[in-house]
Amino acid sequence: MSIQNIIDVYTRIADNVIEKNQFSSLRFKNTLEPIFEREGYRKNMFDSKENPGLRIMILQDASIGDFILLSPCIREIRRIYPTARISLVIHDRAHELAMSCPYVDEVIQFNAFENMRDFKKLFRQFIGFSKTLLERHFDIAFLFNHFMTTSLLAYMSGARDRIISEGQGNPLEFGINPVDFTSPLVTTILPRLAKTNHSVDNNLKILDHFMHSPIQNRELEIWYTPQDLELAKKIFSQRNFNKPRRVYSLTVGGTRPGNWYPPQMYAAFAKTVLEHDKNACFILIGWKKELPIIRRFLAEFHGQFVDRVLNLAGGLTLRQCAAIISLCTAHVGNDTGTMHIAAANHIPCLEVTPYPADQKLRANTIFLRFAPYHVPGVVVQPAKSLPECVDSKESHGCRSENRPHCITTIHPQKLLDGFVLLHQKMQRNDSSLSMIH
């Protein structure tokens, strides 16, 4: 049986899913396991004289920030397996950064975000992509997933060992029967270490437990070119942003609108900083789709501080943004990929979160699991939940996903208090996380 025959089996099952609106992970596995056995996908290829090199797939389906938080894992996998062929399967949003990663042999770009809530379309997309993965005959697949369905893609890759951490992957409503995509389709599920352990440590636990090899280096990494850094330095020089100027990167948008602090409030905070510190400057970092909210921010200045506020949103590549942030004094913004880019550059971070201070911290609390890692960090929270969110158990605390809600109750003065606290922590070289409300 050829790879195409395996894909034909996938296709027949997909046709059945469409017809009956039912999918069983266990039945899917029971159908495919004999085929994988027969075709050599369950053979220990590493011990084979015919194929002495281990083939590893690192699979992540999330975006920019999650990819940066995965950087220590990628580095450690290469250290532990120096001669393995490592393939990184990554979402296209992080592809540009991944292409400069020195620890992998190839980067395979994959985008399934648009179909994440339509299983029938997603399954078809997985089938179309599976040939690329089946051809590589992976021995091990490390899953660092945001969505439970990624376990299905890992299984369809034919990888012999499929390792995941407990609790990874968000359940989604697909309009079909409820499905457990994890338990039947992976070979190893590792338990969480703690209720609120950071995403980085949770990722590294997969290596620590599975391979019984102590982690040597937990620091984040980010990869950009000398040309990217040269451009960043040129921009700083042209704008006279070099020392003694203190330059703060600022992100006022992000992927999730419920995380956005209102731009007029960010502007009030920034204007106060600029008025009290004649050497302070701000650089706006973001993407083209965020330009409307950035224009609202800039409109609050009424022509003031034009020489000390620079808008670079939508004008740079992701790597160039990373190089710009590397030259800054600190980063200010919502929970976004740029915050993790800053942390990977060892830049202190001031984060604004919608998670109210009057709610209990839980295992899924986003701002703890994805806090600025190993840098001085301050998180500014709403003091209290708005009535609609008092009994919320959402990972973001605030229930609102598509518009700012609880986060709007944070007064700009609280950002200024957090800003002062961050500078105090920077002077002490205090890399712990502080919360203020």
Tokens of 62: 């999330």
In a shared domain, residues 185 and 275 = no
Please say which residue of 180, 211, 242 terminates a domain: 211
**Is residue 171 scored above 60 in pLDDT?**
no
In a shared domain, residues 206 and 346 = no
In a shared domain, residues 286 and 243 = yes
Per-residue confidence (pLDDT) for residue 161, from 0 to 100: 93
Using alpha carbons, list the distances in angstroms from residue 33 to 25, 29, 122, 158, 160. Answer: 12, 6, 22, 9, 10
Name the domain count of the chain.
Answer: 2
Domain membership of residue 221 (yes or no) is: no
Per-residue confidence (pLDDT) for residue 17, from 0 to 100: 85
In a shared domain, residues 137 and 165 = yes
Domain membership of residue 219 (yes or no) is: no
Q: How buried is 207 (Cβ within 10 angstroms: 0-12 exposed, 13-18 middle, 19+ buried)?
A: buried
Domain membership of residue 270 (yes or no) is: yes
Domain membership of residue 8 (yes or no) is: yes
In a shared domain, residues 327 and 375 = yes
First to last CA, the chain: 62
In a shared domain, residues 50 and 198 = yes
Please say which residue of 185, 211, 237 terminates a domain: 211
**Of 90-99, 211-220, 264-273, 364-373, the least confident:** 211-220
Please say which residue of 211, 242, 264 terminates a domain: 211
In a shared domain, residues 252 and 389 = yes
Please give the single-letter amino acid code of residue 189. Answer: I
Domain membership of residue 216 (yes or no) is: no
**Is residue 62 scored above 90 in pLDDT?**
no
Report the distance separating Cα 71 and Cα 89, nearest Å: 13
Per-residue confidence (pLDDT) for residue 192, from 0 to 100: 62
Check which CATH number belongs to the domain holding 86 and give it: 3.40.50.2000
Look at phi and psi of residue 176 and say left if phi exceeds 0, alpha if psi is from -120 to 50, else beta.
beta
Domain membership of residue 76 as a residue range: 3-211
Domain membership of residue 103 (yes or no) is: yes
Of 265-269, 389-393, 396-400, give the range with the top mean pLDDT: 265-269
Reference 372, options 391, 352, 399, 389; nearest CA is 352
Domain membership of residue 218 (yes or no) is: no
In a shared domain, residues 190 and 260 = no
Tokens of 125: 């997309």
Domain membership of residue 383 (yes or no) is: yes
**Is residue 283 scored above 90 in pLDDT?**
yes
In a shared domain, residues 37 and 72 = yes
**Of 30-44, 102-116, 244-258, 347-361, the least confident:** 102-116
What's the predicted TM-score (pTM) here?
0.92
In a shared domain, residues 149 and 277 = no
Per-residue confidence (pLDDT) for residue 183, from 0 to 100: 80
